[in-house]
Amino acid sequence: MEFLELQNMKIHFPIRGGIFNTIQDYVYAVDGVNMVIGTGKTYGLVGESGSGKTTIGKGIIGLEHVTGGKVLYEGVDVTNKARSRAQAYRDYNKDIQMIFQDSTSSLNPKKRIKDVIAEPMRNYFNYTKEEELNRVIELLEIVGLNENAIYRYPHEFSGGQRQRIGVARAVASDPKLIIADEPTSALDLSVQAQVLNFMQRIQKEYGLSYLFISHDLSVVKHMADDIAIMHRGRFVEQGSKEQIFNNPQHIYTKRLLSAIPKIDPLNREEHMDERRRIEAAYHEHQKDYYDENGRVYDLMKLSDDHYAALNPNISAEQLNIKGDA
Partner 1 sequence: MATDNTLIEVNNLNVGFRFGDEYYNAVEDVSISLAKNEILAIVGESGCGKSTLATAIIGLHDPHNTRIEGEILYNGLDLTKLNEKLYNRLRGNDISMIFQDPLGSLNPVMTIYKQIEESLIYHTKLNDKERYDRVLELLNQVGIPKPERVMKQYPHELSGGMRQRVVIAIALANKPPVIIADEPTTALDVTIQAQILDLMKDIQEETESGIILITHDLGVVAETADRVAVMYAGQIVEEAPVDVLFTDPKHPYTRSLLNSIPNELHEDGEELHVIQGTVPSLQNLPRKGDRFRDRIPWIPDEAFDEDPILHEIAPGHKVRGNSWKYFHFEGEEME
Residues at the site binding partner 1, with contacts judged by CB under 8 A: 48-49, 158-160, 188-194, 196-197, 200-201, 204, 215, 217-219, 221-223, 255-256, 258-266, 268, 271-272, 275-276, 279
Residues 6 or more apart whose Cβ sits within 8 Å of residue 266: none
In the complex with partner 1, the residue whose CB is nearer, 217 or 310, is 217
In the complex with partner 1, the residue whose CB is nearer, 263 or 325, is 263
Minimum distance from CB of 141 to partner 1 (Å)? 16
Q: Is 108 helix (H, G, I), strand (E, B) or coil?
A: coil
CA distance 232 to 193: 30
Minimum distance from CB of 6 to partner 1 (Å)? 24
Nearest to 207 by CA among 40, 36, 2: 40
Minimum distance from CB of 2 to partner 1 (Å)? 23
Cβ count within 10 A of residue 110: 8
In the complex with partner 1, the residue whose CB is nearer, 93 or 258, is 258
Contact by Cβ (8 Å): 11, 67: yes
Contact by Cβ (8 Å): 11, 53: no
Q: Is 260 helix (H, G, I), strand (E, B) or coil?
A: coil
Nearest to 61 by CA among 211, 214, 225: 211
Minimum distance from CB of 93 to partner 1 (Å)? 30
In the complex with partner 1, the residue whose CB is nearer, 152 or 271, is 271
In the complex with partner 1, the residue whose CB is nearer, 9 or 227, is 227
Task: For residue 179, list its beta bridge partners.
Answer: 98, 211
Minimum distance from CB of 193 to partner 1 (Å)? 4
Residues 6 or more apart whose Cβ sits within 8 Å of residue 5: 35, 36, 37, 70, 71, 72
In the chain, at which residue ranges do the beta strands (DSSP E only) sit?
4-17, 22-37, 42-47, 68-73, 76-77, 96-99, 177-181, 209-214, 226-231, 234-240, 300-303, 306-308
Q: Which helix (H) or strand (E) holds 149?
A: none
Contact by Cβ (8 Å): 119, 141: no
In the complex with partner 1, the residue whose CB is nearer, 122 or 276, is 276
In the complex with partner 1, the residue whose CB is nearer, 58 or 254, is 254
In the complex with partner 1, the residue whose CB is nearer, 179 or 220, is 220
In the complex with partner 1, the residue whose CB is nearer, 81 or 271, is 271
Minimum distance from CB of 145 to partner 1 (Å)? 12
Minimum distance from CB of 256 to partner 1 (Å)? 6
Minimum distance from CB of 309 to partner 1 (Å)? 18
Minimum distance from CB of 24 to partner 1 (Å)? 20
* Chain mean position to CA 143: 21
